[in-house]
A = this chain, B = another copy of it.
């Protein structure tokens, strides 16, 4: 039997589809594929789809030796025991998914929350790879993220921590989907900027944004598009950046990472987003930004971060 290089399989479960990658120890993609999630078929169907995906990936890299499978899964994950404690999107309650998959594929399986997986992916292969301490903040429908301390994923007791989107930054502020008020997520998600843009358009019939949008058609890019040419758009962005920066400064003062990586749809704005955030964070950082600066950067792996990070779980 000849010598085979190792490879690592990463699985990222979403509500609609399951993505899978096989990566080399250097972080190169050796294969990728996807399958429908199949939530309507229940946990057995979701598990069968994962197993099918894993087998397809293994066939594609049969000159490599798979060491293990990492799974990033939405919801509350007991990563120590590989159990999906609760996942609303998947309709899962206490599903021992790591065990179910492991039994059928004959490889070790590790699991974490999808946001944590994305953070580990960016920290290992993406924007954080040169740092040992990083935080990923994902600006999407909600605000997710994860925390890497000394190159290790931090999950909190029973993996229930790192819920950074539900840090309250405005006591008694805007309502959040979690039931509390004033959460970081209620101000800094893509949904939050869309809602604010629509509201400000309604309040400002003179806004140039009306040229190409209505409050019903605005998206997360609208205000950025009109930033330089419209006062209402500029006001929306000032509001958005000011609140987002408060959340980032809190994370910086609490974790003092070397880098905060911004992911999710809004991060596509790149420097236009990141530069004004860096300026605000530097100005507000406790005891200044000279001794232990915190860089704000765009995440680089896009929607592959989760699958990469899942693979990193078994590296």
Task: Say whether, besides A170-B170, A291-B85, A149 and B154 are in contact (CB < 8 Å).
Answer: yes
Query: Do residues B171 and A170 form an inter-chain contact, with CB atoms below 8 A?
Result: yes
For residue A64, CB closer than 8 A to chain B, the reply is no
Complex interface residues of chain A between 245 and 297 (CB less than 8 A to chain B): 246, 249-250, 253-258, 284, 286-287, 291-292
The 6 A-B residue pairs with the shortest CB-CB distance, nearest first, are A156-B256, A161-B256, A160-B292, A158-B292, A160-B256, A163-B253
Interchain nearest-CB distance for A122 vs B (Å):
17
**This protein's copies in its complex:** 2
Bound form: Cα–Cα A163–B294 in Å: 14
Closest partner residue, chain B, to A167 (CB atom): B250
Given contacts A161-B255, A167-B250, 16 further A-B contacts (CB under 8 A): A149-B154, A156-B256, A156-B257, A156-B292, A157-B258, A158-B256, A158-B291, A160-B286, A161-B253, A161-B257, A168-B249, A171-B173, A171-B243, A178-B286, A178-B287, A180-B284
Q: Does A164 contact B (CB under 8 A)?
A: yes
B156 touches A255 (CB 8 A): yes
CB-defined contacts of A164 to chain B, threshold 8 Å = 253-254
In the assembled complex, the Cα of A133 lies from the Cα of B133 at a distance in Å of: 19
Kindly state whether residue A9 has any CB partner on chain B within 8 Å.
no
Task: Please indicate the chain B residues that have their CB under 8 angstroms from the CB of A253 in the complex.
Answer: 161, 163-164, 166-167
Are B171 and A242 interface neighbours, CB within 8 A? yes
**30 residue pairs bridging A and B, Cβ less than 8 Å apart:** A76-B287, A76-B291, A86-B287, A149-B149, A156-B292, A157-B257, A158-B256, A158-B292, A160-B287, A160-B291, A160-B292, A161-B256, A161-B257, A162-B254, A162-B256, A163-B253, A163-B287, A164-B253, A164-B254, A166-B253, A167-B167, A167-B250, A167-B253, A168-B249, A171-B173, A171-B243, A171-B246, A180-B249, A250-B250, A254-B254
Q: Which residue, A169, A250, A253, has most C-beta atoms of chain B within 10 A?
A: A253
